[in-house]
Structure formats: C-alpha cells, structure tokens
Chains A and B, each alone.
Chain A
Amino acid sequence: GENVEQHPSTLSVQEGDSAVIKCTYSDSASNYFPWYKQELGKGPQLIIDIRSNVGEKKDQRIAVTLNKTAKHFSLHITETQPEDSAVYFCVGTGTASKLTFGTGTRLQVTL
C-alpha cells in the first residue's frame, strides 16, 4: 500500500514568515494529493489538493507543489497568521480509494 512520510513534525515561525511542509510518497500510481488542516478540538478539514497532471496549485496564501519524478509534494504558506496555527496532514491515495495520512506537522505561528 501507500506509504507517506511527512516532515517536519513541528514547525514554529514568526507571524508574516513563510512555512513549508514536505511529504514523500511511495506509490507511483498515486494521482491525488490533498492537504488537511486540523485545528484544536476539530476534525481535519481539506484546505487544498492537487492532481498529478499539474505541478503547482495556489489558493491565496496557500500553495502546493508536486514533483512526480521524485515522489514528493509540499505545502507552502506565505505571510503566516496566528490562525494558521494547527496540525497539517499530507495525504496519499495510492491505487486504493482510501487515503493514507502523513504523521502530521504541528505549525505554530508566533507573534
């Protein structure tokens, strides 16, 4: 099955700085890569996703890049704000329709 590795496990940035979270996956058949954000006391929520036929996707301050050759994808958050503080999960799909989650990155944005 799919194996997803995520780094770093914790990330602290100052407000206004950028944050980058990186993931690698194992199944070359994976073609869909969503990112989820989990705020304290809530379930994960989809924030952005990318399909394997594109290399980059952007939504306001959030962007995701995909390198299929190297089997890695990254989440980029620019101009971070305190409300960006949360746990972020990258996800791989493999050949099955179920999702395989990374181990999560706890992002803390300090004032």
Chain B
Amino acid sequence: DVKVTQSSRYLVKRTGEKVFLECVQDMDHENMFWYRQDPGLGLRLIYFSYDVKMKEKGDIPEGYSVSREKKERFSLILESASTNQTSMYLCASRTTLGLGYTFGSGTRLTVV
C-alpha cells in the first residue's frame, strides 16, 4: 500500500523555536507538497517541489522554508515559530504525469 508518512501527529512548540516537519513517501513520486489546513479556509499551499533540490513557493510561503535533499523526503521548516502558525500541516505527493495527490495523515502543530 502506497504511503506518505508524516513523522509526528501532534507537536507543541514554543514561540521562536525552529520547527522541522518531516514527510516521507515510498512511491518514488517526483512532486511533493506542503499544505496547511485551517477551519473555513480549506487547504492552502505553502511550498512544493517538482524534484530533488527543487522548490517553489506556494500561496502562503511567508515564515516557512523547505528542504528536498532526497527524492522521498520533503521537510517543512518554521524558522521562528509564531502562534499564527498553529495549524494542521498536510504533506502530499504525486508523480509528474499523475493528477491525484496522496496525502499523509497530517501533523497538528500548536505554537504556544
């Protein structure tokens, strides 16, 4: 069964901390995505990557960065966490020619 695995289901971090959210997929997909999900706002794209070492800004990249050193792993980095970054974070992947995304189960991050 194909999988996208997010390393943590729940995280609590303090304001100003550097936070790493990890995502690993086992499907050899080229494209990977990070979304945040907030009530009433749906899913909003933060960053995406078409391939290793490549990254593109999504709709709300401010306060975030990403790293894609290996094809299977896509990391989201909060350089200095703030309370407005409290949210559910979802990672997804797909093949370059594919259309459907496979999502992970999400990481619920709380910044206090």
Is the pair A43, B33 in contact by a Cβ cutoff of 8 Å?
no
Is the pair B100, A43 in contact by a Cβ cutoff of 8 Å?
no
CA–CA, A46 and B100, complex, Å: 7
Is the pair A49, B45 in contact by a Cβ cutoff of 8 Å?
no
Is the pair A45, B99 in contact by a Cβ cutoff of 8 Å?
no
**Which candidate, A11-19, A70-78, A100-108, is the interface stretch facing chain B?**
A100-108
Is the pair B48, A42 in contact by a Cβ cutoff of 8 Å?
no
Q: Is the interface of A mostly helix, strand, loop or mixed?
A: loop
Is the pair B42, A44 in contact by a Cβ cutoff of 8 Å?
no
CB of B50, distance to nearest CB on chain A (Å)? 8
CB of B11, distance to nearest CB on chain A (Å)? 15
Interface string of B38-79 (1 = CB under 8 A from A): 001111110010000000001100000000000000000000
Interface string of B7-37 (1 = CB under 8 A from A): 0000000000000000000000001010100
Is the pair A101, B43 in contact by a Cβ cutoff of 8 Å?
yes
Is the pair A98, B45 in contact by a Cβ cutoff of 8 Å?
yes
Is the pair B105, A46 in contact by a Cβ cutoff of 8 Å?
no
Is the pair A99, B105 in contact by a Cβ cutoff of 8 Å?
no
Residues of chain B at the chain A interface (Cβ within 8 Å): 4, 31, 33, 35, 40-45, 48, 58-59, 90, 92, 99-101, 103-106
